[in-house]
């Protein structure tokens, strides 16, 4: 209807313009103003649309205050605790609104909010916020920390996983096959009610932040799966399956934590951080995938072979993978690792192991891993006091170098200005001391000159006294002679 009205107005305006031309006018004011009126209407429309979109955005991500503590138990919340001055928080903000919009569109029960942790420090302390941004999913009395990449898909996957039940049922083989296609690692409890199931549920509630947990009957599993006993906890990964043993695998929680990764994977900084929580050593082939040489391909293949063929021997203590480039490894060990090469990291104490000789064969690689396992390989690095001091110096140097590489002008301003101020202060202090010492020298010199003048004056006075002394005695003698003569004169008179 509005489109038809606009068309009619335009038609009437064109007719009016024709009438103006017929009357002989060269221009019509209404004709000249028509484009501006149309632009004003478009501008008003865009403003209204923008306000509408803003209202939608603020509706899907709620600003939380101190009243949130009393109302949060009624729903499942995904909350971003941020600081207004935090650069990472500002980078996360548009992603966070996308997360809220996607969860709202998909009908998820998770409500999305954000809280200024600096304005409500008491609330953030209660939730254990130590840095910014901190993402937590609040479900009843439980609070789950998100430690994954800050991307839309990863955050949404975390929210949907944790918000649901800790253990999900697989009622059929079709559902099992569907889940196997979606997940690289699948934990399944098989059997009925038992103490093992209770432990499994507790572990699932604890580790749901990392992976999914399922339960199924034996009929829901593929026919190729043969279990030694029921009930059992099974992990499906790497095209095979492995069963938990209460006698050889210690606690169920520890076993799940170590098995939640594929035996071989590509490793980056974040993955290495997560692998550190498993307690395993990490054997890495450092290669350049952009320029994959024959040597790089050979080391990568050998690591993959060890991960698969020597699983029973090394899986309990080692995680295997490859890393593209050596930048992260170099910053981690504060040294230089050649590409390609093999390195084994102990993330629990920051130690690392390098082969004493080039690894040419699979047997040499297995021997090197065994030497690390039995303690005969020499460990480097560590978390001792010397290494901590070295880390501080290395981080400071890296920060300065990165600033100068990214922006030389900014680097000169940030580091040159303070150095210049410090130099001026030192110069001022040194100059003040030299001037003070010079004044003291001049003062002492003047005092010495005055002392010398006083001594000269005393000497002159003494000299003058000695010269005048005999004249005074002569005068006194004459006076005495005169006095002696006076009585005689008196007699003669």
Residues marked as catalytic: 86, 89
Determine the Cα–Cα distance for residues 375 and 217; give it in Å rounded to an integer.
Answer: 44
Q: Can you tell me the distance from the alpha carbon of 294 to that of 459, in angstroms, rounded to the nearest whole number?
A: 104
Rounded distance between C-alpha atoms, residue 79 and residue 64, angstroms: 9
Kindly state the tokens that stand for 83. 């600081």
> Rounded to the nearest 5 degrees, what angle is found at the Cα of 73, between the Cα atoms of 143 and 102?
70
Bin 220: left if φ > 0, else alpha if -120 < ψ < 50, else beta: alpha
| Cα 205–Cα 207–Cα 212 angle in degrees, nearest 5 | 90
CA angle (42 as vertex; 39, 47 as ends), nearest 5: 125
Residues 234 and 225: beta-carbon distance below 8 Å: yes
Cα 275 from Cα 402, distance rounded (Å): 27
Place of tokens 């909010």: 113
DSSP class of 219: G
Q: Is 340 exposed, middle or buried (0-12, 13-18, 19+ CB in 10 A)?
A: buried
CA angle, 394 then 151 then 82, to 5° = 70
Whether the Cβ atoms of residue 204 and residue 166 lie closer than 8 Å to each other: yes
Q: How many CA atoms lie within 13 A of 366 on its CB side?
A: 12
**Residue 306: cis peptide before it, omega within 30 degrees of 0:** no
CA dihedral 450, 452, 454, 458 (to 10 degrees): 180
Residue pair 153/99 in contact (Cβ under 8 Å)? The answer is: no
Three-class secondary structure assignment of 231-265: CEEEEEECCEEEECCCCCCCCHHHHHHHHCCCCEE
Q: Under a CB-based contact definition with an 8 Å cutoff, are residues 188 and 170 in contact?
A: yes
């Amino acid at each position: 209807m509005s489109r038809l009205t606009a068309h009619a107005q335009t038609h009437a305006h064109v007719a009016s313009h024709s009438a103006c031309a017929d009357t002989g006018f060269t221009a019509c004011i209404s004709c000249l103003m028509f484009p501006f009126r149309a632009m004003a209407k478009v501008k008003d429309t865009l403003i209204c649309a923008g306000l509408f979109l803003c209202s939608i955005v603020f509706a899907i991500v709620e600003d939380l205050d101190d009243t949130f503590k009393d109302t949060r138990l009624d729903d499942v919340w995904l909350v971003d605790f941020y600081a207004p001055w935090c650069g990472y928080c500002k980078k996360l903000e548009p992603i966070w609104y996308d997360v809220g919009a996607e969860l709202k569109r998909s009908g998820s029960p998770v409500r999305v909010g954000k809280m200024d942790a600096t304005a409500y420090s008491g609330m953030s302390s209660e939730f254990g916020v130590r840095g910014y941004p901190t993402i937590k999913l609040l479900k009843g009395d439980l609070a789950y920390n998100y430690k994954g990449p800050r991307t839309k898909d990863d955050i949404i996957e975390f929210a949907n996983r944790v918000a649901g039940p800790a253990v999900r049922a697989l009622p059929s083989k079709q559902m099992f096959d569907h889940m196997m296609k979606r997940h690289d690692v699948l934990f399944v409890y098989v059997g009925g009610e038992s103490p093992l199931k209770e432990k499994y549920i507790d572990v699932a509630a604890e580790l749901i932040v990392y992976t999914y947990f399922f339960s199924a009957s034996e009929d829901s599993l593929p026919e190729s799966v043969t279990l030694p006993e029921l009930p059992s906890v099974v992990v499906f990964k790497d095209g095979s399956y492995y069963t938990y043993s209460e006698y050889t695998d210690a606690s169920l929680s520890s076993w799940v934590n170590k098995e939640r990764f594929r035996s071989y994977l590509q490793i980056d900084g974040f993955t290495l951080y997560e692998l550190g929580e498993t307690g395993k050593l990490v054997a890495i082939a450092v290669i350049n995938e952009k320029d994959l040489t024959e040597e790089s391909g050979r080391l990568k293949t050998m690591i993959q072979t060890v991960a698969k063929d020597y699983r029973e021997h090394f899986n309990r203590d080692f995680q295997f993978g490859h890393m593209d480039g050596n930048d992260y490894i170099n910053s981690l060990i504060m040294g230089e690792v050649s590409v390609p090469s093999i390195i084994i990291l102990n993330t629990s104490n920051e130690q690392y192991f390098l082969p004493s000789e080039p690894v040419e064969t699979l047997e040499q690689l297995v021997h090197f891993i065994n030497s690390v396992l039995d303690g005969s390989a020499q460990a480097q690095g560590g978390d001792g006091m010397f290494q901590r001091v070295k880390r501080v110096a290395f981080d400071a140097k890296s920060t300065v170098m990165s600033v100068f590489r990214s922006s030389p002008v900014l680097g000169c301003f940030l580091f040159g200005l303070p150095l210049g101020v410090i130099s001026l202060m030192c110069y001022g202090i040194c100059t003040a001391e030299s001037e003070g010492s010079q004044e003291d020298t001049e003062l002492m010199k003047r005092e010495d000159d005055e002392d010398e003048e006083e001594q000269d004056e005393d000497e002159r006075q003494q000299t003058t006294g000695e010269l005048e002394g005999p004249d005074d005695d002569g005068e006194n003698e004459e006076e005495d002679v005169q006095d002696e003569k006076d009585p005689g004169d008196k007699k003669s008179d």
